[in-house]
Amino acid sequence: MSARSERDRLARELEGARKRIADLETALLRRGRDTLTAVLRIEAFREQLVDELLRTRRRGLQGALVVLQVDRLSDIHRDHGFGMGDAALGALVDALRAGTRGEDVIGRTGDDRFALLLRECGETATSACVARLLGDLQALEVGAIRGISVSAGVALFGPEDDDPVMLFQTAGRALANAQAAGGGRAVIASGDGHDLGVTAELHRRDAVEALAIALLERDRYTGEHSESVVDMAVAVAQGLGLSPAQVEDIRAGALLHDIGKVGIPDAILNKAGPLTPDERAVMAEHPVIGERILRGIGGFAPVADIVRHEHESYDGSGYPDGLVGDAIPIGSRIILACDAYHAMTSDRPYRARMSHADAFREIRRCAGRQFDPEVTAALVSRFYHERSGRALLRAV
């Protein structure tokens, strides 16, 4: 077969594949299904909800409407690409199918929103189901994406409920409260409009402060060191133009990046001299321990990822997963550089501190290998900008 004939054959096959995909998408749309995930679109889902409310009233049953939203899907698209974002949504729907019953209904109600209709399901069973689903989603791995953080709002209904619009509004209010509390959690609407009466900042601040105190009590140097890294990490994150939500995650990650050291034996953690290879292997477990601690707290999935990967090197030589370049969360890359700078310029029992100039020379030398070059540039720029500001104040 000539090269031209082969090209013609491949072109015909490609055109045929495109037609089959278009036909499938048309068929899904006619059936009221989302073309990406094949679950019901919003219109078809609402019809199912109306029918279920009628059945619930006739038979005196209970049920639940659950509205789910992927936390920061736009960040997934930016960091991993739209193709990987679509793959994550597909994996999310597979997890929802696996974690619900055949009679339950799944719908897609927006780019990053889904809905569940749980039939004949009371409050206890609904709470258990939703908690299990959110846990399953946080454990998902899709390519370089480790865990999908999802917020959920739940509206329970019974024989007296007959307004699907009101149910969506109630579930939406509960979802907003779950997101306000940091995301990665579920809120069940109370029906009186007062579910979750505390703000996000209080929930998050209380958790962060409690963990920071625990770290400080465990090892004073580690705790104080983490506090010193925070301002640098936040300044670098802002200098890189990251979103306020990302900056807050990085602030928490910087403060808690060594929280896993609470699980390291005292003999290793407080050793005055250099560690042996076996002791270094034990110490290297602390990012994974830290991730486990933080992943158990609602809304802390992004911070848990930052903490797990804060010892990954830009060239892939770090640990625990050997990630490379942009596959490492940006917060982890920022904290690694700020952590190294602060460690080098601090006195330790087994070595004297470096000068600031020598520390920056070392960080620049390792840019592209251990450190992200853009993060390195932002850190150096922040330092010299701060020094220039102090010099100007002295001159005034």
Closest CA to 182 of 197, 199, 170: 199
Element housing 282 (H / E): helix 277-283
Global pTM value: 0.58
Helix (H, G, I), strand (E, B) or coil at 160: coil
Residues 6+ apart with CB under 8 A from 220: none
By CB atoms closer than 10 A (0-12, 13-18, 19+), residue 146 is: buried
Q: How far is residue 298's CA from residue 249's CA, in Å, rounded to a whole number? A: 13
Beta bridge partners of 106: 116
Amino acid symbol at 56: T
Which of the four pLDDT bands, split at 50, 70 and 90, describes residue 226?
Answer: low
Q: What percentage of the chain reaches a pLDDT higher than 90? A: 39
Q: Tell me, what DSSP letter sits at residue 262?
A: G
Percentage of residues in the chain having pLDDT higher than 70? 80
More confident residue, 205 or 357: 357
pLDDT at 236: 93
Residue 386, pLDDT > 70, answer: no
Of residues 200 and 143, more confidently modeled: 143
Query: Amino acid identity of 362?
Result: E
What is the rounded CA–CA span in Å between residue 290 and residue 303?
Answer: 10
Find the range with the poorest average confidence among 27-41, 131-145, 260-274: 27-41
pLDDT confidence of residue 299: 67
Distance CA 140, CA 91 (A): 8
pLDDT (0 to 100) of residue 190 = 67
Contact (CB, 8 A) for 301 and 266: no
Q: Residue 40, Cα to own-chain centre: how many angstroms?
A: 26
27, pLDDT greater than 70: no
What is the average pLDDT value for the chain, to the nearest integer?
Answer: 82
- Residues 333-362, mean pLDDT to the nearest whole number: 84
pLDDT > 90? residue 116: yes
Instruction: Using pLDDT thresholds of 50, 70 and 90, give the confidence band for residue 264.
Output: confident
Q: What would the mean pLDDT of 254-282 be, rounded to a whole number? A: 85
Bin 156: left if φ > 0, else alpha if -120 < ψ < 50, else beta.
beta
Q: Indicate the pLDDT class of residue 275, thresholds 50, 70 and 90.
A: confident
What mean pLDDT is predicted for residues 12-24?
Answer: 64
Are 215 and 223 spatial neighbours (Cβ–Cβ below 8 Å)?
yes
Containing 168, the helix (H) or strand (E) segment is helix 164-180
Q: Is the pLDDT of residue 119 over 90?
A: yes
Cβ-Cβ contacts under 8 Å for 135 (sequence gap 6 or more): none
Residue 218 or 166, more confident: 166
pLDDT at position 320 over 60:
yes
What the chain holds in terms of domains, given with CATH numbers, is 37-197 (3.30.70.270), 202-395 (1.10.3210.10)
Over residues 288-315, mean pLDDT? 86
Alpha-carbon torsion 178, 209, 280, 229, what sign? positive
Burial environment of residue 313 by CB neighbours within 10 A (0 to 12, 13 to 18, 19 or more) = buried
Task: Specify burial of residue 113 (Cβ count, 10 A radius: 0-12, 13-18, 19+).
Answer: middle
Backbone angles phi, psi at 63, to 5 degrees: -165, 180
pLDDT of the residue at 20: 64
Confidence (pLDDT) at 62:
92
Are 265 and 282 a contacting pair, CB within 8 Å? yes
Most confident of 2-16, 30-44, 66-80: 66-80
Q: Give the model's confidence band at 86: pLDDT under 50 very low, under 70 low, under 90 confident, else very high.
A: very high
Q: How many CA atoms lie within 13 A of 245 on its CB side?
A: 15
Lowest mean pLDDT among 4-8, 68-72, 97-101, 162-166: 4-8
Residue 66 CA to residue 63 CA, distance in Å, equals 10
| Cis bond before residue 320 (omega within 30° of 0) | yes
pLDDT tens-digit readout, 51-74: 999 999 999 999 999 999 998 888
